[in-house]
Structure 1
Amino acid sequence: MGIKSFQGKRDTSQGNEESQILVSDYMTKKLVTFKAEDSLDTVISQLIKYKISGGPVVNDKNELIGIISETDCIKHISESKYYNMPSDTNNTVGKYMVTDVDTIDKDMNIFDAAFKFISSHRRRFPVVDNGKLIGQLSQKDVLKAAIKVKGNTWK
């Protein structure tokens, strides 16, 4: 008679409880934001001061209305310099910001968010709840989450 494999009573709860790592766990909540009426010179100064590559544009109700980035500022500068024109007096954020903004849900799994970064080629996603800006998730935030998971679960 052969020996049967004995592993003991199986615990049905083991492995079923996956702790979700959510966007809200890693998003940045203290943001540098801009208003549509801000000048691009102000934006450029803030981008340099805080060492960031862009930021959300909000209205007075803290509702997301756009994104302004280094690229948007550089486009304005290069266009005016290329045509040897003086800086436009109407060089406001509202004129140069991107208004078609992809957002991300605060309850999304961080690794689903990573896939969204890969497929969209974006560097950051604003996080909006009930129309209000509540945070921002960057690619660096996803990397921080990955390192923490690796440290806790992988051997």
Structure 2
Amino acid sequence: MLVEEIMKERVITLSPVDTIETALKLLQEHHIRHIPIINDSNQVIGIVSDRDVRDASPSVFEKDTERKELKNPIKSIMTTPVTTVHPLDFVEEVASIFYEQEFACVPVTRDEKLVGIITEKDMLYTLIQLTGTHVQSSQIEVKVINRPGILPQVTQVFGKRKVNISSVLIYPYKPDPKYKVIVVRIQTMNPIPTIEDLKSEGYEVLWPKMPGILS
């Protein structure tokens, strides 16, 4: 899946000379948590979060009603430089950026111009779609030898029952690197016949551990 498939194209932005007060109003009005800061060429030169704005805002207990801090330019609190991604980047690879750099959002640029934005919520929803948990299904985990060609052999067994496969994921089998775990979600609430087919073919089913216990 590509970034362009999940990114939001309508992005609320500010210029570096806009005030912190303006950013505060936009965050509240649009119920967003981040605002990219762009220059006159639509290039991302910074980003501010709701936390940045809160930290820069005066305390509600202060008596200064003029709230001078809110008149400061947004460039005084923006984070720069900004990590960006391309619309044709793979979502799975971008997920590692969110994890490793602990980002909550990443602007999307093409030819150095802002074209969209993706947030951690977008990433989480995409993960739900990729794993197939958004549709009614049953999960089966099969332990297999880690060698080329094993995946089509296993999925061929699933094809005997003519059930739709919602998703297929492969994980390392931590106790022994010679094996992998193939996780398949199928659109049926009764996976027992498929489990029996897998066992008759000599595969070890890790989940469900007992027939009748569904995911």
Same fold (TM over 0.5): yes
Give the structure with the larger helix fraction. Answer: 1
Which stretch shows the higher mean deviation, 116-125 or 54-63? Answer: 54-63
> Match of 1:135, SS?
strand
For the pair shown, which has the larger CA radius of gyration, 1 or 2? 2
Note if contact 2:37-2:47 (Cα within 8 Å) is conserved in structure 1.
yes
* Deviation of the 1:150 alpha carbon: 2.5
Counterpart-to-counterpart distance in 2, 1:139 and 1:68: 16
Judge which range, 129-138 or 84-93, deviates more.
84-93
Question: How far, CA to CA, are the matches of 1:124 and 1:117 in structure 2?
Answer: 8
Structure 1 stretches lacking a partner, 5+ long: 1-20
In structure 2, the CA distance between the partners of 1:150 and 1:62, relative to structure 1 (3 Å rule), is: same
CA distance in 2 between partners of 1:75 and 1:109 (Å): 34
- 1:20-39 CA deviation, whole Å, 9 max, x = no partner? x0111101110111111111
Q: CA offset at residue 78 of structure 1?
A: 4.9
1: CA distance, partners of 2:15 / 2:95 = 28
Q: How far did residue 127 of structure 1 move?
A: 0.8
Pairing partner for 1:109 from 73, 90, 106: 90
Displacement of 1:126 in angstroms is 0.6
AA aligned opposite 2:111: N
Q: Is the 8 A contact 2:56 2:70 kept in 1?
A: no
Provide the C-alpha distance between the structure 1 equivalents of 2:88 and 2:18, rounded to a whole number of angstroms. Answer: 32
**Separation of aligned partners in 1, 2:123 and 2:67:** 41
Deviation at 1:149, TM superposition (A): 2.1
Equivalent residue number for residue 110 of structure 2: 129
Pick the aligned partner of 1:73 from 27, 40, 53. 53
Check whether the contact 1:47–1:53 (CA below 8 A) recurs between aligned residues. yes
Identify the match of residue 53 of structure 1 among 7, 30, 33. 33
Q: In structure 2, list runs of 5 or more residues that go unmatched.
A: 133-165, 168-184, 187-215
Report Cα offsets for 1:31-75 as digits up to 9, x if no partner: 111111111111101101111111101112211111011122122
More strand by share: 2
AA in 2 matched with 1:31: V
> How high is the sequence identity, in percent, across the aligned residues?
26
Distance in structure 1 (CA, Å) of the matches to 2:54 and 2:114: 25
Q: Tell me the number of residue pairs that the alignment of Structure 1 and Structure 2 aligns.
A: 135
> Which TM-score applies when normalising by structure 1?
0.77
Larger deviation, residues 33-42 vs 86-95: 86-95
Runs of 4+ in 1 over 6 A off after TM superposition: none
For residue 35 of structure 1, what is the aligned residue in structure 2?
A: 15
Q: Does the residue aligned with 2:12 lie in a helix, a strand or coil?
A: coil
Contact 1:40 1:93 in 2 (8 A): yes
| Rounded Cα–Cα distance in structure 1 between residues aligned with 2:77 and 2:123 | 28
1:118 aligned residue? 99
Shift of 1:147: 1.9
Q: Note if contact 2:58-2:69 (Cα within 8 Å) is conserved in structure 1.
A: no
Name the counterpart of 2:2. 22
With the length of structure 2 as denominator, give the TM-score of the two structures: 0.57
- Which region of structure 1 is more displaced relative to structure 2, 48-57 or 107-116? 107-116
